[in-house]
A and B are shown apart, each in its own frame.
Chain A
Amino acid sequence: MPKAILFDASKCSGCRACQIACKSWNQRGATYTTNTGSYENPPQLTSECWMRIKFNEVDAGTADTPDIKWRFTKYQCMHCEEATCVKVCPSGATAKHKVTSGDEEAYVVMTDAAKCVGCNYCVATCPFKACRYGEADKSVFRCVMCFDRISNDAASFPHMQQFGKEWTEKMQAEFPRNIPACVQTCTTGALSFGEREDLIKKAKARVDYLKKEKKVAGAQTYGIDPVGGVGTLRYLYVLEDSPDAYGLPTDPKVPAGVEGWSLLAKPMGAFALGGMVVAAALNYVIHRRNAGLESKEEGV
């Protein structure tokens, strides 16, 4: 059963508690930023910033009767069904990792830092520009949907154990703990985590509500149906306007050649990793090339 996160933009207040919680749980550092004339910061995803809230201002009204909208979007790796990064990864570092053993559909896309050769093919080809290379760890990073939380039984959380099984079960029913950090910290209920099927129902019901009760003509979902060339997403969105207005790509393009490349690169990568000397040489070349690559990506 696929798992997913639902982001309901109609409930998001842009408080960015999720952005901070992500850094807190995943032990990401901060960078010195500057104000560039917006509340939005950091200016882009990096190896230290796996998700961020985008702020988009639009005036949907006329000069006399302004109708200002401030659109907040949670932006991070979408954990695509047809993940480009998985296809292009030569070393097998980036792969779909199963959340529940034996359940192929319940996956998150993750990069194993120990295996990552730093080739940056995934960074270059990601249609969402959602994975980023980190020089310090010599690996690519992205949202991992808090794999370490969601793949664990809540009862194994250290702070839960003192209260015993019965209490833990009660708490789990009411306030589940083994959910992604961003979801747990969300103040307004804009984020939820669970079975993708359940969230699809929830998202559709919310869109119906927004259209009927709130007269939001542009209400729509994103990520439920296949998007661009990457299939369906494991991040679902309820939006009050077109994905464009939120800074989400309406038709994320997978660069031509990815399919062919994956056929070529994978065996090569496996071969390279097979020989220590070759691997070390490859690593050296690639990392040299990557120096300074971190800051050059456009802001998403």
Chain B
Amino acid sequence: MTNHWVDLKNSDVHMVCGSNPTENHPCAWKWVEESRTKLGAKVIVVDPRFTRTASKADIFSFLRPGTDIAFFGGLINYAIGKNYIQWEYVQNYTNAPFVVDPSYSFDQATGHFNGWDAEKKAYGAAAAIWKWVYTDAAQTTPARVALVDVDNMPAARGKPVGPVDGNGNFIPRRDDPLFGQTVFAALEQHYSRYTPEMVEAVTGMPKDKFTQIAELYCGTTYKNDKSGNLQYAMGLTQSTVGVEKIRTFSVLQLLLGNTGLPGGGINALRGESNVQGSTDYALLYQYLPGYLPAPEADKLNSRAALNANYGADKVSGFWLNEPKWLSSLLVSWYGKYAKENLDRAFDLIPKKEKAGSDYSHIPLFEAMYAGTIKGLITWGQNPPVGGPNANLESAAMDKLEWYVAVDLWDTEAMNFWRRPGVKPGEIKTKVWALPAASSIEKSGSVSNSGRLAQFRWKAVEPPGEAKSDLWIVDELMNKLKELYEADTNAPAREAITELFWDYERDAEGEIEVENIGLEISGFTYPTDVKDTKDFWDKARKAPVASFAALKDDGSTACANWIYGGIWSSEADAASYADKVGVPKEQVSRYRATWQSQFEGKKIFADQAEMGIYPMWGYSWPLNRKVIYNRCSMDVNGEPWGKNKALVRWNGAGWDRYDVPDFTVANPDTSVAVPAVSAAAPFIMNNDKGAQVGKVFTNATKEGPFPEHYEPRESPVKNLMNGAQWNPAIVSEYQSAKDDPAKYGFAEVGSKDYPYIGITYRVTEHWQAGAMTRNLTWLSEAMPEMFVEMSESLAGKLSIKNGDKVEVSSVRGKVQGVAIVTLRMRALTIGANGSKQEVEVVGLPWHYGYIGDFPGGPERGKIPPRSYAANQVTPHVGDANTTIPEYKGFLVNLKKVK
């Protein structure tokens, strides 16, 4: 989230597209309801299904799965056409006024942008292809054009002045010959094809409905004092164009001036309590902790090379400090060994094979299927239910030599070797199941969607032999150390033997969690240390105030720079203790622990009722709640609206309710006036001299502007351009090449698989179901696998509500109970003269074959078939993230006896 949960109450219009908050984030909805009573906010819900969220919408529309770019692109076209553009914002805070490099082009016939290599069937490196023009050889100052008349015309900056339209909005300078060379003009041209008629033809959203939505969203929120936000989740991301869908809306938000404002922004509603934390701490393979790029063995295989890489294309912005963060990370990992020689420590950390190496879920299971990966440890993961193309992924697990599953419950993953339809005796994999402690049975922090870290104390002891994740990792590491110490010939031996693993222990011998908190926050590395306690005593006395204090010489340790400062200063801790009314000795300085036992507005005053609560937990970076908040003010530092104030220039300094996300002081520590930050409002943007919002990007794999491409499996040809699917994806993995009949794809417009399938979650169940299919109250409420379909489709196939049906794809089949409902509809798509109806079939993906409620009428035993929806989903993913395409694939449907 650019914003945070409570901030939803500050929004004037909510665009809920690709998410289902009342079902999957029920507690979020109270803030949406509050915005309705407080600001008269409106809610738009767009979804292939009429969900429980849709039942609370002011406007709802159906949309064909996977066509969000066509819809969002239509909104961009509509906003430009109606001049619903926040010009002061666009002119000053985005790269829309930049001059596009003349090499830029888009060919509608092929669907490719410039830079497409027809032979390699790929684009080159994005930053080298999609560029804007600089005025100087050193590339420090991009060429800028005034899109509207502004009060500082030579610099093309400042407050808009000049002619206005009927709405009082400024009229762009289209007569200026330079106007046509700008990003804005290229954008306008690119989206001119996304007319309401095309939106209807591609998405199935009726033209009138589209116009109604566009008028409400764009016509309301482009106004200075109004803000609108996007609430999205897996409905956008689980797609071959997932990143581009979100980027399309990001561009719209920039045009409307909605990013950086309270109630605005791009809000990823995270699907798990700590999924934000898991990415912050580098669960994603392409990052080290804190989103530092993972090193690449063929290019960035030395610390100098990696640092040079930061320096090479990051000459401005705070990413320049990456070498300091990397250095501190190495010290936190390798301690004294790194402090003495950072390069040596860098050499020890694992690296990607090469720049393009993809170690995400799909390629890993492909590698297991190919026999390259021979062992697997999973933590709370259930691939035979949750993984795409579950039949393939189960077959891939068959090839493992060993498999360790850490989980709360007996899962399908632990039992893949006796799944329905296989002979257990033929599967040789050795399987261990380690019982884990649940979130209430262990202590530690979680980070929610709003980047807010909060601590949870252990409430009860875990049952039986179950252990916390930290305990399991600790045991594993201690054993590894022992083995590596003993084997002097082990490869990269120091990677294990030199790893810092010297923590204080509690009475039960477990690592003190607060040591980890301090390590994450950062400290000056102690010298002359006597023992473990002495080390941590000294570290506690020398915490860094924030990531700004980190050094690249090995003198500081910090395990995750974005959380730098989560260990508070003594003064802040004392202030907290004072507010809570307890002696300060009782207050931990680990800010993640500052929270719920003292909940309540009256105790922790909200900041101007903006929902900030700065003394509750810690939001990275720097406890900032709304990022890009420079954009919540005009160029002079005046908030856009009374309800939208986070920071304000008072003429001599900055009044703040939130932590400023911009330069407030010059290097000489004098106050930085508003003009300084108005020129660089997106300080996290690492482009040279261009720290502004990217309407035109050089950072995604598909091109500078998002373009609609069909899902990998689609019932129709792409109407927008000549490329059927996203040209930048891996369209076929090895499994599909080797065995297309089993693991491949249906062709475009397939007669055998004529319907569109989508998967989703319901309130009553959690992810792959292990945690909820064993809870009787929840399973009683949602007992078994079901399949949702429209009345028209059911009528055609003679299916009655409650019948048993089978959904099949090229890759497999799954059975469930038919829910024939008004909430699913056939969508009319296609250009005039060639209209056609497409039907959508909905599948919850929680069910499987293990547990009290496996998924069918059988209870508590392994049923003769699996009920996992992912038996029909494909192995294909987004070009940038490889998130699987669960939203939009082709299926058939029939009634079964």
A interface vs B, CB < 8 Å?
Answer: 11, 13-17, 19-20, 23-24, 29-39, 41-42, 57-59, 65-66, 68-72, 163, 170-171, 173-175, 187-189, 213-214
Cross-chain contact of A30 among B29, B52, B779 (Cβ < 8 A): B779
Judge whether B33 is part of the interface by a CB distance below 8 angstroms: yes
Cross-chain contact of A66 among B780, B781, B785, B822 (Cβ < 8 A): B822
Asked if A16 and B764 sit within 8 Å, CB to CB, the answer is yes
Asked if A70 and B55 sit within 8 Å, CB to CB, the answer is yes
Residues in chain B near residue A66, CB distance under 8 A: 822, 825
Asked if A41 and B819 sit within 8 Å, CB to CB, the answer is no
A sample of 18 cross-chain residue pairs with beta-carbon separation below 8 angstroms, ordered by A number, consists of A11-B56, A13-B56, A14-B22, A14-B55, A20-B781, A24-B777, A33-B780, A37-B817, A41-B783, A42-B781, A66-B825, A68-B50, A68-B55, A71-B55, A72-B55, A187-B30, A188-B33, A213-B40
Asked if A39 and B33 sit within 8 Å, CB to CB, the answer is no
Asked if A175 and B600 sit within 8 Å, CB to CB, the answer is yes
Residues in chain B near residue A20, CB distance under 8 A: 777-778, 781
Residues in chain B near residue A187, CB distance under 8 A: 26-27, 29-30
Judge whether B70 is part of the interface by a CB distance below 8 angstroms: no
9 cross-chain pairs, A with B, having the tightest CB-CB distances, nearest first:
A13-B22, A30-B776, A37-B801, A37-B802, A70-B55, A30-B780, A187-B26, A35-B817, A15-B26
Whole-angstrom distance from the CB of A134 to the nearest CB of chain B? Answer: 16
A38 to B816, CA, bound (A): 12
In the complex, which residue of chain B has the Cβ closest to the Cβ of A58?
Answer: B822
Asked if B22 and A188 sit within 8 Å, CB to CB, the answer is yes
Judge whether B53 is part of the interface by a CB distance below 8 angstroms: yes
Asked if A16 and B763 sit within 8 Å, CB to CB, the answer is yes
In chain B between 40 and 54, which residues have their CB closer than 8 angstroms to a CB of chain A? 40, 50, 52-54
Asked if A170 and B602 sit within 8 Å, CB to CB, the answer is yes
On whether A17 and B26 interact (CB within 8 A), knowing A37-B818, A171-B600, the answer reads: yes
A37 to B22, CA, bound (A): 21
In chain B between 764 and 785, which residues have their CB closer than 8 angstroms to a CB of chain A? 764, 776-785
In the complex, which residue of chain B has the Cβ closest to the Cβ of A42?
Answer: B780
In chain B between 782 and 828, which residues have their CB closer than 8 angstroms to a CB of chain A? 782-786, 801-803, 816-823, 825
On whether A19 and B781 interact (CB within 8 A), knowing A37-B819, A66-B825, A70-B55, the answer reads: yes
Asked if A35 and B821 sit within 8 Å, CB to CB, the answer is no
How many chain-B residues does the 8 Å CB contact rule pick out? 51
Judge whether B651 is part of the interface by a CB distance below 8 angstroms: no
A294 to B780, CA, bound (A): 17
Asked if B859 and A32 sit within 8 Å, CB to CB, the answer is yes
A71 to B55, CA, bound (A): 8
Asked if B820 and A13 sit within 8 Å, CB to CB, the answer is no
Cross-chain contact of A32 among B781, B783, B819 (Cβ < 8 A): B783
A256 to B410, CA, bound (A): 55
Of A20, A35, A72, A170, the most chain B CB neighbours within 10 A belong to A35
Asked if B781 and A16 sit within 8 Å, CB to CB, the answer is yes
Cross-chain contact of A31 among B22, B53, B603, B780 (Cβ < 8 A): B780
Whole-angstrom distance from the CB of B765 to the nearest CB of chain A? Answer: 12
Judge whether B184 is part of the interface by a CB distance below 8 angstroms: no
A170 to B600, CA, bound (A): 8
Asked if B30 and A34 sit within 8 Å, CB to CB, the answer is no
Asked if A57 and B823 sit within 8 Å, CB to CB, the answer is yes
Asked if B776 and A29 sit within 8 Å, CB to CB, the answer is yes
A187 to B785, CA, bound (A): 26
Judge whether B642 is part of the interface by a CB distance below 8 angstroms: no
Whole-angstrom distance from the CB of A16 to the nearest CB of chain B? Answer: 6
Residues in chain A near residue B599, CB distance under 8 A: 171, 175
Main secondary structure of the interface of A (DSSP, over half): loop
Residues in chain A near residue B601, CB distance under 8 A: 174
Whole-angstrom distance from the CB of A189 to the nearest CB of chain B? Answer: 6
Judge whether B420 is part of the interface by a CB distance below 8 angstroms: no
Residues in chain B near residue A175, CB distance under 8 A: 599-600
In the complex, which residue of chain B has the Cβ closest to the Cβ of A48?
Answer: B780
Asked if A170 and B603 sit within 8 Å, CB to CB, the answer is yes
Judge whether B23 is part of the interface by a CB distance below 8 angstroms: yes
| A14-B22, A38-B819 known, 19 other contacts, Cβ within 8 Å | A11-B33, A13-B56, A15-B22, A16-B763, A20-B777, A23-B777, A30-B777, A30-B779, A37-B818, A37-B820, A41-B782, A42-B781, A57-B823, A68-B60, A68-B822, A70-B52, A71-B55, A187-B30, A188-B22
Residues in chain A near residue B22, CB distance under 8 A: 13-15, 188
Of A38, A188, A214, the most chain B CB neighbours within 10 A belong to A188
B interface vs A, CB < 8 Å?
Answer: 22-23, 26-27, 29-30, 33, 40, 50, 52-56, 58, 60, 206, 597, 599-603, 762-764, 776-786, 801-803, 816-823, 825, 857, 859
Whole-angstrom distance from the CB of B319 to the nearest CB of chain A? Answer: 39
Residues in chain A near residue B603, CB distance under 8 A: 170
Asked if A15 and B782 sit within 8 Å, CB to CB, the answer is no
Cross-chain contact of B602 among A14, A58, A174 (Cβ < 8 A): A174
Asked if A34 and B857 sit within 8 Å, CB to CB, the answer is yes
On whether A189 and B55 interact (CB within 8 A), knowing A32-B783, A32-B859, A33-B783, the answer reads: no
A37 to B818, CA, bound (A): 6
Cross-chain contact of B780 among A11, A41, A214 (Cβ < 8 A): A41
Asked if B817 and A34 sit within 8 Å, CB to CB, the answer is yes
Residues in chain A near residue B801, CB distance under 8 A: 36-38
In the complex, which residue of chain B has the Cβ closest to the Cβ of A67?
Answer: B60
Whole-angstrom distance from the CB of A295 to the nearest CB of chain B? Answer: 15
A30 to B781, CA, bound (A): 9
Whole-angstrom distance from the CB of B800 to the nearest CB of chain A? Answer: 8
Residues in chain B near residue A38, CB distance under 8 A: 801, 819
Asked if B781 and A41 sit within 8 Å, CB to CB, the answer is yes
On whether A189 and B33 interact (CB within 8 A), knowing A37-B819, A57-B822, the answer reads: yes
Of B55, B603, B764, B820, the most chain A CB neighbours within 10 A belong to B55
A37 to B801, CA, bound (A): 5
Asked if B52 and A35 sit within 8 Å, CB to CB, the answer is no
A279 to B52, CA, bound (A): 50
Cross-chain contact of B600 among A65, A71, A174 (Cβ < 8 A): A174
A126 to B652, CA, bound (A): 72
Whole-angstrom distance from the CB of B442 to the nearest CB of chain A? Answer: 20
A42 to B779, CA, bound (A): 10
Asked if A15 and B857 sit within 8 Å, CB to CB, the answer is no
Asked if A189 and B802 sit within 8 Å, CB to CB, the answer is no
Cross-chain contact of A13 among B26, B58, B781, B821 (Cβ < 8 A): B26
Asked if A35 and B26 sit within 8 Å, CB to CB, the answer is no
A32 to B783, CA, bound (A): 8
In the complex, which residue of chain B has the Cβ closest to the Cβ of A11?
Answer: B33
Residues in chain A near residue B803, CB distance under 8 A: 37
Asked if A15 and B23 sit within 8 Å, CB to CB, the answer is yes
Residues in chain A near residue B821, CB distance under 8 A: 57
Asked if B55 and A13 sit within 8 Å, CB to CB, the answer is yes
Residues in chain A near residue B50, CB distance under 8 A: 68, 70
A24 to B779, CA, bound (A): 14
In the complex, which residue of chain B has the Cβ closest to the Cβ of A16?
Answer: B781
Residues in chain B near residue A24, CB distance under 8 A: 777
In the complex, which residue of chain A has the Cβ closest to the Cβ of B802?
Answer: A37
A72 to B26, CA, bound (A): 15
Asked if B823 and A35 sit within 8 Å, CB to CB, the answer is no
Whole-angstrom distance from the CB of A202 to the nearest CB of chain B? Answer: 12
A36 to B833, CA, bound (A): 40
Residues in chain B near residue A39, CB distance under 8 A: 762, 782, 819
A299 to B540, CA, bound (A): 63
A251 to B600, CA, bound (A): 43
Residues in chain B near residue A65, CB distance under 8 A: 206
Cross-chain contact of A14 among B52, B779, B785, B820 (Cβ < 8 A): B52
